[in-house]
Structure 1
């Protein structure tokens, strides 16, 4: 996001854009970590369902 775009956006729009960027970054980190440890997404889901 450049400065001109940031100045024209409302506070809510800027926050939403930052949240989307953060979510993309966190998802990428999660995928990277799961690949390194050899875990699959299905294993994480079964652990969460056992807690309920």
Structure 2
């Protein structure tokens, strides 16, 4: 592995940028996954609430 900082070619800057892009992509994917899980929980709880009100 070569040191991008030592030769001044900017490779470390490129690596840092791509790392930030990957991190941003991972955060977006995580957010979408969490939203999907929340929606699934919300839709699962609706039928249970309806059944409880019918029994009363």
TM-score, normalised relative to structure 1: 0.53
Matched positions, count: 36
- Structure whose alpha-carbon radius of gyration is higher: 2
Aligned 1:13-32 pairs, distance under 5 A: 13-32=11-30
CA change 1:37–1:16 in 2 (3 A) is same
Q: Structure 1: which 5+ runs fail to align?
A: 39-52
Q: Structure 2: which 5+ runs fail to align?
A: 37-56
TM-score, normalised relative to structure 2: 0.50
RMSD (Å), alpha carbons: 2.2
